[in-house]
Amino acid sequence: MKGSGYLLLHTLPMVITHNFHPERGAFRNVCGLPREDAERIVASIRHCGHSYRKENYLPRRLHTENWLIAERARKIGETPLARPIYFFLGDMADGWDRSRPASVVLPLALFDPRTITFTFPDSMASCPHIRPASPSEKTWHGHVFTLAEITQVVARYGFPDPTLSRDRRGPDAFIEVQVWDDRPLVEIR
C-alpha cells in the first residue's frame, strides 16, 4: 500500500500530539466556551487565512461533538470530561496548521484507554450527519473507535504515512484522538 498514502505500518504510534495556539493555550476546546466567545475565536482563526473554517464551522463542530459525546457514552461510558480535548495519533508536530503552531507530544500510554476515543479521519470528516457517506467511503469512516478497535483498524488497513505531506495523504491524512480526561495533563498545563 506504500504510495497510496498508507505505510505498511500496522501498529499504532506510541505518541499523540496536541496542536494549539500559544495565545489561546493548550488543552482547550472552543465548544466548551460560551457561544459568543467561541464565535469570536473561530472568526479570528478564519480571518487569519484559514478559509476551511467556514461561517457555519461552529454549528457543525457542535453537532459533531454531540455525535462524539453520544458515541463515547455508548462505547466507554461516562468520563471525567463532558467535552473532549483533541489530539492526533502519532507525532504531528509539523506546523501544518498555522492557526495552531505550537505542539505537545505525549505518550499514548499516559491516558487510560477507558478515557480516549478515536476517529479516522478527523471527527468532522467522520461524522455521518455532517458528511453523508459516499460509495467511495472507507470502512472506517463514520465511526468512533475505542483504543482496541482503532488498533484493529490500523492492523488491518495501515496507518497514514507520516513521511508524506498531509496533502499527499489525501482525506484520511490522520487519526484524531479525543481525550475525555484532563487529569494526566494537570502537571503539563
Task: Note the pLDDT of residue 174.
Answer: 84
Q: Quickly tell me which residue has 495552531 as its cell.
A: 100
Task: Note the pLDDT of residue 85.
Answer: 97
Task: Note the pLDDT of residue 75.
Answer: 97
Which residues contact residue 137 at a Cβ distance below 8 angstroms, ignoring those fewer than 6 apart? none
**What is d(CA 82, CA 31) in angstroms, rounded to the nearest whole number?**
11
- Number of Cβ within 10 Å of residue 165's Cβ equals 11
pTM for the model: 0.86
Per-residue pLDDT of the chain (189 residues; tens, 9 = 90+): 444 555 556 778 999 999 988 888 899 999 999 999 998 888 887 776 555 566 788 889 999 999 999 999 999 999 999 999 999 999 888 777 777 778 999 999 999 999 999 999 889 888 887 665 555 567 888 899 999 999 999 998 888 776 666 667 666 778 999 999 999 998 787
What is the sign of the dihedral through the CA atoms of 85, 91, 95 and 101? positive
In contact, 98 and 50? CB cutoff 8 Å: yes
Task: Note the pLDDT of residue 98.
Answer: 72
Task: Note the pLDDT of residue 53.
Answer: 60
**What is d(CA 108, CA 179) in angstroms, rounded to the nearest whole number?**
10
In contact, 63 and 70? CB cutoff 8 Å: no
Could you give the C-alpha distances from 20 to 70, 98, 102, 143, 170, in angstroms and in order? Answer: 25, 9, 5, 25, 23
Task: Note the pLDDT of residue 1.
Answer: 44
- Number of Cβ within 10 Å of residue 135's Cβ equals 4
